[in-house]
Amino acid sequence: MDSVIARGPSREKTPMAAQLAELLEAVRLAVAEAEPDNYSAKPKTPEAQARILKAVQDSTSAALPMLDVTFEDPVMARGLVKYLNRIKNLKKLVVRLGGAKTWDDLMAVFHDEETRSKSTYRKLWEYIQDAVGVVSHAEETQTGAFDLDGWRVILMESERGAWDRSLIEKARAAIERVDRILERGGFGSVVGGRIFAYPWQFLQGSTYARYRTDRDIVQIAVDAPNDQKALISLTHELGHRFYFRQMSSMARKAWRGFFEQETGSPGVTIDSIIRTWEAWYAAQGTAASTKDGGTEAYFDVKYGRTSAYFERYLKQHDPDMLMWLQAVMNALKIEEPVDETTGALKRNVKPGLDQLIERKSEARVFMHPVTSYSTSSAEELFAETFAHYLVLGPQRIPEPVRVAFRDATARWLRVASATPQTAAGRVAARYLAAGS
Ligand SMILES: [Zn+2]
């Protein structure tokens, strides 16, 4: 049984978030030009200083009225207090920047506001993201809902996009598909509850789905460009739901034990990554020096020791090594911050390959990754295993993880045919016995 509730009569909205984003973008651009740490910054002529100062003053005074945001709905206002504080911080910074009467005043503001870890420009940029996010969120409204397989599917929209018949069909199909997969696997008990659905490609960034443990709410972006990835992502989130709501605390403890036990130093793998990376990098130098080396090789030489470029190569030629590389880089928290304006590595930052060589012996990584993300924690390993096992099949899961997963979920999981226990399985079973 399901029905789509008709939309309310008044759906008129001020596209406030879009306006705000536009005004703040002008502020950001003006401030970026003034930024003293700007990588490409050159000493500025008095004329250039006067022009930039005026752009900062004009753009900030245009944006300020929009930053006096209030919400009429008291429930909304309460929920947004934390975010409204961020808008207040943004407002303070914008007032200070716009209040500078001379170039030296403006430079003083940059100096006062910067912290050890963040330039003033970076701070402004983050506040702007927050503010636009808050306002878009405040403008989201529920336009309808339907019931499906025990789910209450609440249709949300904002000026980012609206529902139409085909998107509602898409939402229905996506949910039915995941329900079938869960029921077939024996996890039908996870089906049912509240889903907030959005008629967009992504919730944010490249996120298709999300699960809020505190409120037991699933959120999905329905217009996902890749159905398979969206299905895996939604199943992953429901894996979290299963883990936190239906597995016993003993079973979770056993799973965390398995994750810890199987975490170690993948020294041989890292050495092989480094060898491959160095060889690839050296080969780019040869390619670029030949006549037909082309611009791509030129950039690979220039930036080839930073991970983004090597990852692009691995994505095509060695997805397994790519998974390991990302897992190791995450484990070591290797960062390669780039200058916002030039896109080149910031001064004093070593490229990823050199950081990796220096710190390889510190790396501790879960040794049987399902995906690079699965190595980030026991919870993510569980959710990734849950999703890949159910959507792509058990053969896609490294054996020790497969065995541990079957043990942890033995009460629920339907396995097509019994597989003989292996040595690895017996090892894992020791840790997970409590869960079965
Ligand atoms: Zn997750």
Query: 189-207, pLDDT tens digit by residue?
Result: 999 999 999 999 998 788 8
CA of 313 to the centre of ligand 1 (A): 27
Rounded to whole angstroms, how far apart are CA atoms 226 and 82? Answer: 34
Could you tell me if 341 and 392 lie in one domain?
no
Confirm if 354 and 303 have CB atoms less than 8 A apart: no
Ligand 1 centroid to residue 380 C-alpha, Å: 5
Please give the Cα distance from 395 to 251 (Å, whole number): 23
Q: Which residue has the tokens 């004009």?
A: 58
Distance 211 CA to ligand 1 centre (A): 8
| CA–CA separation, 201 and 132 (whole Å) | 18
Place of tokens 């030489």: 301
Q: Are 178 and 238 in contact (CB under 8 A)?
A: yes
Q: 244 lies in a domain?
A: no
252-287 per-position pLDDT tens digit? 999 999 999 999 999 899 999 999 999 999 888 766
- 227 and 257 housed in the same domain: no
The domain total for the chain is: 4
- Whose tokens are 């963040």? That residue is 118
Domain boundary pick from 340, 363, 386:
363
Least reliable range by pLDDT among 155-159, 288-292, 306-310, 393-397? 288-292
- What is the amino acid identity at position 62? A
Give the whole-angstrom CA distance, residue 161 versus residue 140.
10
**Stretch 153-158: mean pLDDT:** 87
Angle of the 81-98 helix axis to the 120-138 helix axis, nearest 10: 130
Q: Cα(360) to centroid of ligand 1, in Å?
A: 26
For every residue of 43-73, DSSP letters joined together read PPPHHHHHHHHHHHHHHHHHHGGGG----SS
The two beta strands, 151-157 and 193-198, are: parallel
- Per DSSP, the three-state class of 367 is coil
**How far away, in angstroms, is 106 Cα from ligand 1 center?**
43
State the distance from the centre of ligand 1 to the C-alpha of 221, rounded, in angstroms.
16
In angstroms, how far is CA 87 from the centroid of its own chain? 23
Q: At residue 104, does pLDDT exceed 80?
A: yes
- Residue type present at position 229: K
CA 383 to ligand 1 centroid distance, Å: 6
Are 30 and 129 within one domain? yes
pTM: 0.66
By percentage, how much of the chain surpasses pLDDT 90? 55
Is-contact 309 299, C-beta < 8 A?
A: yes
Report the greatest alpha carbon distance in the chain.
80
Residues above pLDDT 70, as percent of the chain = 82
Residue 271 covered by a domain: yes
Q: Note residues around ion ligand 1 (Cβ under 5 angstroms).
A: 383
Q: How far is the CA of 97 from the centre of ligand 1 (A)?
A: 39
Q: Which helix (H) or strand (E) holds 28?
A: helix 16-34
Considering the domain architecture, whether residues 71 and 199 belong to the same structural domain is answered as no
Distance from residue 373's CA to the centre of ligand 1 (Å): 9
| 118 and 148 inside one domain | no
Q: Is residue 59 part of a domain?
A: yes
Which pLDDT does position 294 carry in this prediction? Answer: 57
Ligand 1 midpoint to CA 377 (Å) = 9
Residues 81 and 145 in one domain: no
Give the Å distance between the CA of 108 and the centre of ligand 1. 43
Residue 395 CB neighbours (<10 A): 8
Average pLDDT, stretch 347-372? 94
The pLDDT of residue 14: 41
What spacing in Å lies between the alpha carbon of 48 and ligand 1's midpoint? 48
Residue 398 structure tokens: 């490294």
Domain that holds residue 427: 253-263+372-435
C-alpha of residue 165 to centroid of ligand 1, in Å: 30
| pLDDT of amino acid 141 | 76
* 290 found inside a domain: yes
CB atoms within 10 A of CB 61: 14
Q: Is the domain of 197 the same as that of 171?
A: yes
How close is the Cα of 355 to the center of ligand 1, in Å?
27
Q: Does residue 247 lie in a domain region?
A: no
- Do both 74 and 182 map to the same domain? no
CA 236 / ligand 1 centre spacing (Å): 6
Pairing of strands 209-212, 151-157: unpaired
Kindly state whether residues 391 and 418 are assigned to the same domain. Answer: yes
Choose between 142 and 12: higher pLDDT: 142
Same domain, 228 and 279: no
Q: Ligand 1 centroid to 183 CA: how many Å? A: 21
* pLDDT at 173 exceeding the cut of 90: yes
In angstroms, what is the span from residue 408 Cα to ligand 1's centroid?
18
The pLDDT of residue 435 is: 30
Q: Which of 102-111, 207-216, 262-271 has the lowest mean pLDDT?
A: 207-216
Single residue among 85, 104, 138 that ends a domain in this structure: 138
Q: What is the mean pLDDT of residues 82-98?
A: 86
CA of 392 to the centre of ligand 1 (A): 17
In this structure, is the dihedral angle defined by the CA atoms of residues 126, 130, 131 and 136, taken in order, positive or negative?
A: positive
Q: How high does pLDDT run on average in the chain?
A: 83
Last residue of a domain, one of 307, 340, 363: 363
The pLDDT, as a whole number, for residue 8 is 34
By the 8 A CB rule, do 218 and 238 touch?
yes
- Same-domain check for residues 87 and 199: no
Of 105, 107, 64, 58, the residue nearest 87 (C-alpha): 64
pLDDT value, residue 261: 97
Q: What is the pLDDT of residues 38-82, one digit of tens each?
A: 555 567 889 989 999 999 999 999 898 878 766 554 545 555 666
User: Strands 151-157 and 141-148: what pairing?
Assistant: antiparallel
Distance (angstroms) between ligand 1 centre and the Cα of 349 equals 30
* Pairwise CA distance, residues 396 & 418, whole Å: 17
**What is the arithmetic mean of pLDDT over 152-159?**
86
Quick check: is 98 in a domain? yes
* 221 vs 433, higher pLDDT: 221
Rounded mean pLDDT, 295-305 = 73
Q: Decide if 85 is inside a domain.
A: yes
Q: 237 CA distance to ligand 1 centroid (A)?
A: 6
CA 244 / ligand 1 centre spacing (Å):
12
Taking 90 as the threshold, does the pLDDT of residue 129 lie above it? no
Task: Name the token pair of 253.
Answer: 């403890």
9 Cα–ligand 1 center, Å: 38
Same domain (yes/no): 64, 125: yes
What CATH number has the domain bearing residue 176? 3.30.2010
